[in-house]
Amino acid sequence: MEFCLEPEAVNGSKNDLNFNPMKEYMVLSRPQQVAIAVLCTLLSLLSALENLTVLYLILSSRRLRRKPSYLFIGSLAVADFLASVIFACNFINFHVFHSVDSKAVFLLKIGSVTLTFTASVGSLLLTAIDRYLCLRYPPAYKTLLTHGRALATLGIMWVLSALVSYLPLMGWTCCPSPCSQLIPLVPDNYILGWLLVVAILFSGIIYTYGHVLWKAYQHAVNLAEHQDRQLPGMIRMRLDVRLAKTLGLLLAVLVICWFPVLALLAHSLVAPLSDQVKKVFAFCSLLCLVNSMVDPVIYALRSREIRSSAHHSLARWKGYLRGHGPEAKEEAPKSSVTETEADVKIT
């Protein structure tokens, strides 16, 4: 974008109180604003509820919160919950109510939204690496990825995500650099840098899950060759076939939800955008909320261990409501086809 927003121009100038340079980005019509408000509210509420449920089930189980696999899933749930709340509030506030804050506050909000989605993708990458390590080095998996190392890795990921996300707030703004056509006060060169970071994260996810899918394919071929024989690895082969279906669904959802937004951001760096394209970008941004809503279903709620934790939690609450206190001791959760630990045990 050719013009540059000065700090005092964000709230309007002294000579013209109605001046609002942010109108370049407020392109939605009234019916579109209503549609955005309804969709964003419903998706954010559902996503927040799902991710809070996953967090509660992991934290309420001593067994689950000690496992690195579920620490990564818990980090994903935290990032998706924050994304649901922060993105929805700021998105509706800007596009529907046309509320504009000071430059520092606005960049803080933009950075917070960027942080939540960056940390979400980072958590996806750590989850993928966790499963890759399990299949690549099954005997040494528990030694390679301990509880302490998992926590340290999560801490580093969140710190790096925050550093990348708050660079505009720390001074990397679009003055004098050209402003982004899709995100106010953010320069095009920062958008390019963030796209490169996200591309690296997605490449890591695709590579690690591609390796898992390849291993599953090899085991499926072996399963077809030995259908009439009861081999010791037969259960493992069936597990990998089902795991391949889960990971295939995961990658499909990831591409569908993120590709439109990333493609439009990349397109905005090389060509001028019309208001119609900006409206498409606003609606495509809701797909990121859809991804935050689907993540708990793919990563957590499909896990038998988390479902087992849910059953025990319901039993405890029923006991409290009946005045009998918590019920029987927590049973050992069954292994899950979506849990990394299951691969190690079967191997």
**What is the tens place of the pLDDT at every residue in 208-248?**
888 877 776 776 667 666 655 554 454 554 554 555 566 77
Tell me the average pLDDT across 312-330.
Answer: 64
Q: What is the mean pLDDT of residues 16-32?
A: 73
Question: If pLDDT is split at 50, 70 and 90, which confidence band does 18 have?
Answer: very low
Angle between helices 147-165 and 103-136 (to 10 degrees): 150
pLDDT digits (tens, 9 = 90+) for 139-157: 888 888 888 999 999 999 9
Q: What is the mean pLDDT of residues 89-94?
A: 92
d(CA 44, CA 40): 6
- Tens of pLDDT, residue by residue over 164-185, are 999 999 988 887 778 889 998 8
Model confidence at 59: pLDDT above 90: no
Report the candidate in 174, 33, 185 with the shortest Cα–Cα distance to residue 101: 185
- What whole-number distance in Å separates Cα of residue 73 and Cα of residue 60? 14
Range of weakest confidence among 34-48, 81-95, 106-120, 122-136: 122-136
Mean pLDDT, range 294-316, rounded to an integer: 77
Share of the chain above pLDDT 70, in %: 78
